[in-house]
Structure 1
Amino acid sequence: MRTPVSDPLSVGPYRIAGRLGSGGMGWVYLGRSPAGREVAVKVVRPELAAESEFRERFAREVAAARLVSGAYTAAVVDADTEAELPWLATMYVPGPSLAEAVRADGPLPEAQVRRLGAFLVEALQAIHAANLVHRDLKPANVLLASDGPRVIDFGISRVEGAPSLTQAGIVVGTPPFMSPEQMTAAPVGPPTDVFSLGGVLVHALTGRPPFGSGEAVSLRVVHREPDLDGVPAGLRPLLARCLAKRPGDRPRLDVLLGELLAQPRTAVWPPPAVARTIEVRRSELAARRGGGTSLPVPSCLLLHAQALLDAGLTDDMVTRAVVRGDA
């Protein structure tokens, strides 16, 4: 896999402070705006930038993602799809992903998951209002901020009614959270994201996806019932409906929101362990702003890069940061 001879000093108006990682689509950098705002900047690889079909797909999806306006989505803040190497910048979210939070601190209680689910329903409503289907909602694509989660990574979003430009042979989505229609190459729509949301909430409650993982997961998604052991009785029927095999059997988002909020809101947000992580990461970032080059790229941005990279094209994840000496 080709890597750049040297990292750029800037991308568009953003000064590059460090390389966060690399993957099949390109490189992700920590960038700062002239006023000092941190962003994650993804730069496309030259071999992909040279393909007109890829450029068309990239430009269409950036334009579509910019239409999404919601309190619980992480917006694309800038992009240049006509540059020699196309790039996009997304807002920085100082919090762990749901995947990381569950891995570090264990599953969330039912009250917290009900509130998380309500936030995510509103995020999907904003996405669907822009005629998008996310198609890769998963715990790693849900960043937990102090005022609610942010759904990120529109890299494989599908514009409803538009022809697909996804390259042949590329798996679109993450198998443990993909819907049966994605597994069988059937048409996708808003119910596809409802299925994935059900899987995300099961993971939040139990620490595992409802159909497991591994080579046989696609078979289980299409033909087996979900494993809901450990899901509280109050949420089990609702999540089972979200995970129905037929899209028409899944609840609409407005119905889902009402049922998630049927119980009184007793849970504070963010969960205490997440609040501590956010505070640590904000401190890391503040220390880096004033500490020159002695500190590594903040772990929160490494997580953000992991979610940005590859957008379902590969399973590569960021494992370390390579920091510029002149950051």
Structure 2
Amino acid sequence: MGESRKLAGRYRLLNPLAAGSVRLAFDESEHRDVTVRELRVPAELRDAALQEAHRAAGLRHASIVRVLDVVIEDQTPWLVMEFVSGASLEQTVRARGPLPVAQAARVGVCVLSALTTAHEAGIVHGRVEPGNVLLTPTGRAVLTGFGFPSLSMLPSADLWALAATLHFAVEGRPPGQVPAQGADPLRTLIRAMLHPAGPPATDVIRETLELLAVSRPLDVIIGLFGPLPIPVVAAMGLALIEQLQAREAFHGGIQPGNVLIDDRGRAHLTPLLRSGTLPAYTAPEASATLAADLWSLGATLFTAVEGVPPSPGAPLTRAGALAPVLFRLLSGNPLERPTPDELRRDLQSVRSTH
């Protein structure tokens, strides 16, 4: 293929990109760089592929590489796409190693938003993979590869592929038969999305990724900085009890790894994603009740203020005015634990006195 060749009399082909499957080109009509890709499909799928490509050209989203044109040259269809400067997720991880959790979560936010827009338009991507996720110099992730036949895949297939892509982002390898273990929220979310029973609701996935993109888990913060001040822990408890009551359902996974602290210091409780609760944060009665959630909340606040999870006979050396509150929350008798309203009153009192 000569360097001077043009498609449709306007797209001058330049150098290959992405191992030769995509070429840089110059649109002489609009005076801009574009990328072009030959749409290689079996003859029997050609009409369906062209229809899919034209539908993809209607997608508009900041994290979607736009299909600008679909041209036929010598009976061969070509996709003309927006040029985006950046390296693929695959290239980035292979060159620099796995991404930090927050950066991987930001990638997930962008790609999930792009997929949601496509799914609402009735389009399944079908090719979500690290090589089709581009990371721009500004930190935005964009999804390319639209316009190819999806072979009647369901939207859930895109969510599974997104999970596998995020797994590659944080582990440097595909999930294979054994996805990465770990109690942190991102790996827990990835495992839930890869589960044979199907992914969690899209809203749950989005909420978790958005929190992880700007927040750090409480257990990481404790590991870095040690026990937290009493008023900070009291404020955390107030935020968590508010969110717990808003759920109006048993959570079952309240523990430091599922509590995210954002850049303003506010605590957020992530949804439970099939991970269960670690033994140190499981109420002794192990029942699916609000009282059990309150015990787990008490164990989490204990860890935040003391730096270690509770254990039988463990002393409270740093809790100060929080100590009576924690004793009640961690009672072995569910009837002796405070109600949410009582807990809120007690935590407000502790916070106001410090």
TM-score, structure 1 as length reference? 0.58
1:227 aligns with 2:157: no
Q: Secondary structure at the match of 1:133?
A: coil
User: Gaps spanning 5+ residues in structure 2: where?
Assistant: 217-354
User: Gaps spanning 5+ residues in structure 1: where?
Assistant: 159-163, 165-186, 212-219, 221-225, 268-327
Matches within 5 A, 1:157-196: 157-158=149-150, 164=151, 188-196=153-161
User: Shift of residue 76 of structure 1?
Assistant: 0.4
Matches within 5 A, 1:1-327: 4=1, 6=2, 9-20=5-16, 28-34=22-28, 35-43=30-38, 51=43, 53-81=44-72, 84-145=75-136, 146=138, 148-158=140-150, 164=151, 188-211=153-176, 220=177, 226-229=178-181, 233-247=184-198, 250-263=199-212, 265=214
String of CA shifts for 1:246-278, please: whole Å, max 9, x gaps.
23xx112222111112347169xxxxxxxxxxx
User: Which amino acid in structure 2 is aligned with residue 238 of structure 1?
Assistant: L
CA distance in 2, matches of 1:147, 1:14: 32
String of CA shifts for 1:147-181, please: whole Å, max 9, x gaps.
511111125443xxxxx5xxxxxxxxxxxxxxxxx
String of CA shifts for 1:226-259, please: whole Å, max 9, x gaps.
3214x56232221111001123xx1122221111
Bigger helix fraction: 2
Q: Which has the higher contact order (CA 8 A, sep 6+)?
A: 1
Contact 1:40 1:90 in 2 (8 A): yes
CA distance in 2, matches of 1:264, 1:241: 18
Larger radius of gyration: 2
Q: Secondary structure at the match of 2:35?
A: strand
Question: Residues 236, 54 of structure 1: CA spacing in aligned structure 2 closer, same or farther, 3 A cutoff?
Answer: closer
CA distance in 2, matches of 1:17, 1:60: 24
CA distance in 1, matches of 2:21, 2:170: 33
String of CA shifts for 1:39-61, please: whole Å, max 9, x gaps.
1122457xx79x4x343023112
TM-score, structure 2 as length reference? 0.54
CA distance in 2, matches of 1:234, 1:44: 39
CA distance in 2, matches of 1:245, 1:192: 11
User: Which amino acid in structure 2 is aligned with residue 10 of structure 1?
Assistant: K
CA distance in 2, matches of 1:227, 1:27: 30
Structure 1 segments of 4+ aligned residues over 6 angstroms from their partners:
none
Contact 2:49 2:149 in 1 (8 A): no
CA distance in 2, matches of 1:28, 1:115: 26
User: Which amino acid in structure 1 is aligned with residue 33 of structure 2?
Assistant: E
User: Which amino acid in structure 1 is aligned with residue 144 of structure 2?
Assistant: I
Contact 2:179 2:191 in 1 (8 A): no
